[in-house]
Amino acid sequence: MKAKPDSGPRYAAPALEKGLDIVEVLAREEEGLTLAGIAQKLGRTVSEIFRMTVTLQQRGYLQVDSGDRYRLSLKMLELAHQQQPLRSLVSLALPLMRELANRAYQSCHLATYHDGQIIVVAQVDSPGALSFGPKVGALGSLTDTASGNLLLAFRDEAERTRMLAAAIRLHGKLDVDPAQLLRQGEAARAQGQLTWPSRRVRGVTDIASPVLDRNGQAVATMSVPYLERLDLPEGPGAADVAGQVREIAERLSALLHYSGYNNVS
């Protein structure tokens, strides 16, 4: 008997696909969308997505504001944190991050790679009444953040290619010239750290160091969005904080069994 030509996926789950479509479109919308907006983005009618959207809200994956705009909740991030590798990394990092915040008088955060961008997985506020930094779950670009550049720089070429391809699928194009990105990666590898003016907030200096696994691949970055503290003139300056960030990242790398540093305390 002649085999029938392959006409597509053998198994289909239309309802599941519809729910995933809703989640994915909302992940790209910072301000959220109404039901009509979701339907328009997906090329569907409101009646087609109504029950699925309400179910996702009832299960805690979506939240809706007073303007009837749906947004993703933090439930997926909470589920991700239940994965053993990420949970272990955050558990190891938090005591060191609290030490860093107290020594530097600055907030700090831990970021890792996720699907074409970076995501903040842990954050510790600076001591005192003033603090500045991204929230847990905040997303950022691979190419215009210090963390993203480090995550690219400390991966092998094949992995960098895969990460950048995912970023292009997500954003449509890279927001930096490839030659410039290459130079930034070479500088990051040479210095083992990146310190540069924030591309998002004027007056903030981003200081970041890679957290390396046993193979020397960056699994995360330790970062401080450095602000000059006029209320603490005796506090450490940017150069001292950069040294502290490097030290903490190296100590966390050692806990992950990276042995390439000779001066890890």
**How do the domains of the chain map onto residue ranges?**
14-73, 78-255
The residue count for the chain: 265
Its CATH class, for the domain covering 78-255, is: alpha beta
Which residue matches tokens 């860093």?
100
Q: Retrieve residue 70's tokens.
A: 């749906």
Amino acid 1: pLDDT: 44
* Average pLDDT over all residues of the chain: 85
Note the pLDDT tens digit of each residue in 56-91: 988 888 888 878 899 887 666 656 555 556 778 888
Residue 6 or 162, more confident: 162
C-alpha radius of gyration, the chain, whole number: 21
The partner residues of 187 in beta bridges, in order of sequence, read: none
Of the pLDDT bands very low, low, confident and very high (cuts 50, 70, 90), residue 187 is confident
Note the pLDDT tens digit of each residue in 95-111: 999 999 999 999 999 99
Amino acid 79: pLDDT: 62
Which residue matches tokens 């909302």?
26
Residue 86 or 51, more confident: 51
CA–CA distance, 155 with 165 (Å, rounded to integer)? 14
Least confidently predicted of 101-105, 180-184, 207-211: 180-184
Long-range contacts of 85-90 (CB under 8 A, 24+ apart): 86/112, 86/121, 89/121, 89/211, 89/219, 89/220, 89/256, 90/121, 90/122
Amino acid 85: pLDDT: 65
Q: For residues 181 and 143, is the Cβ–Cβ distance under 8 A?
A: yes
Residue 81 burial class via C-beta count within 10 angstroms: exposed 0-12, middle 13-18, buried 19 and up: middle
Asked whether the predicted pLDDT for residue 208 surpasses 90, the reply is yes
Amino acid 3: pLDDT: 47
CATH 2.60.40.350 fits 14-73, yes or no: no
Amino acid 77: pLDDT: 62
Q: How far apart are the first and last CA of the chain?
A: 70
CA angle 237, 219, 86 (to 5 degrees): 105
Residue 134 or 86, more confident: 134
Which residue matches tokens 């600076």?
126
